[in-house]
Amino acid sequence: MKVDALRMPSRSPGEPVRVRCTQCGSSHVRITEEFAGNDLYELERGKVIVLTTIKALNRTGRSWGSCRRCSHSWQFRKDPLASTQRNARSTQGVGHG
């Protein structure tokens, strides 16, 4: 069984992400993304006959923020990392100067 995963590219250290705490405005935030995966067990007469293990996790589209300054936590309405990816694409090929 082929498992298709929706993966976000990993972020590099130093790459900007426009996120602020919704309570204190700090940009010192931890982002947590939710992923899900399932293993499939098929049984016959109470015994496992087929076991299909997942090879990749699927993104659920849900992510949470946690402020490292005030400890406030919240769920994002929009994916903060996806907006970074769009911003990076829109600035590619733009000359500065």
Q: Is residue 2 part of a domain?
A: no
Q: Is residue 58 part of a domain?
A: yes
The CA-based dihedral angle spanning residues 36, 42, 43, 47, taken in that order and rounded to the nearest 10 degrees = -80
Expressed as residue numbers, the domain containing 38 is 29-87
Ramachandran sector of residue 45 (left: φ over 0; alpha: ψ -120 to 50; beta: rest): left
Euclidean distance between CA atoms 80 and 18, whole angstroms: 7
What's the mean pLDDT in 88-94? Answer: 43
Q: Is residue 24 part of a domain?
A: no
Number of domains observed in the structure of the chain: 1
Q: Is residue 9 part of a domain?
A: no
**Residue 91 in this model has a pLDDT that exceeds 50:** no
Q: Is residue 96 part of a domain?
A: no
Q: Is residue 53 part of a domain?
A: yes
Q: What is the pLDDT of residues 13-57, one digit of tens each?
A: 788 888 999 999 999 999 998 888 888 899 999 988 988 888 888
Predicted TM-score of the model (pTM): 0.59
* Choice between 1 and 44, residue whose per-residue pLDDT is larger: 44
